[in-house]
Amino acid sequence: MNSKTLVTVIAVALLVGGGVYAWLYHSHENNADHEAHAAHAHDTAAPPLVNGQRWETDEALRTSMLKIRDAASQQQGAALASTTKAQVDYMITHCKLDSQADAALHGIISQLLTGADMLNKAPDSPDGVERIQHALQQQYPELFNHPGWQP
């Protein structure tokens, strides 16, 4: 399964069955690891961080999130949806996080893809923009250490 197909599968799953499907089939390893990832998905939930701790990021995650953030301030509707999906695809392909940080990222990816899908269906959807903004302004900075991040 190529990465574009994977993103499409995740997006459809989020619309139909919520984040569970994305949790089982999203993988930062390679596509051959999907079955193994699904088998242990229930055991890889990110433990809560305490005292303001946040997960470390890698260059791929930082790059993708910056591009989505910039798009959210400059683009609307289908253009924002397209950029968001392309950058999530980049994250899935290039991001190399440890399993706990990866598990924490699933909720953010879910919000981003749900927002993008809402914008594809209704380009003026305030709910779609709100989902993307929530991921950028609240979830990501709360969970990940991205030096210099300004939502």
Whether 95 and 143 have beta carbons less than 8 Å apart is answered as no
* Per-residue pLDDT reduced to its tens digit, 113-142: 999 999 999 999 999 999 999 999 999 999
For residue 2, what pLDDT is reported? 55
Three-state DSSP class for 145?
A: strand
pLDDT in tens, 14-53: 443 444 334 333 444 443 333 333 333 334 455 667 777 8
Can you tell me the mean pLDDT for 99-119? 96
**Does residue 87 surpass a pLDDT of 50?**
yes
Q: What is the pLDDT of residue 4?
A: 54
> Which residues, including other chains, have CB under 8 Å from residue 19's CB and lie 6 or more apart?
106, 107, 110
The Cβ of residue 42 has, within 10 Å, a number of other Cβ atoms equal to 10
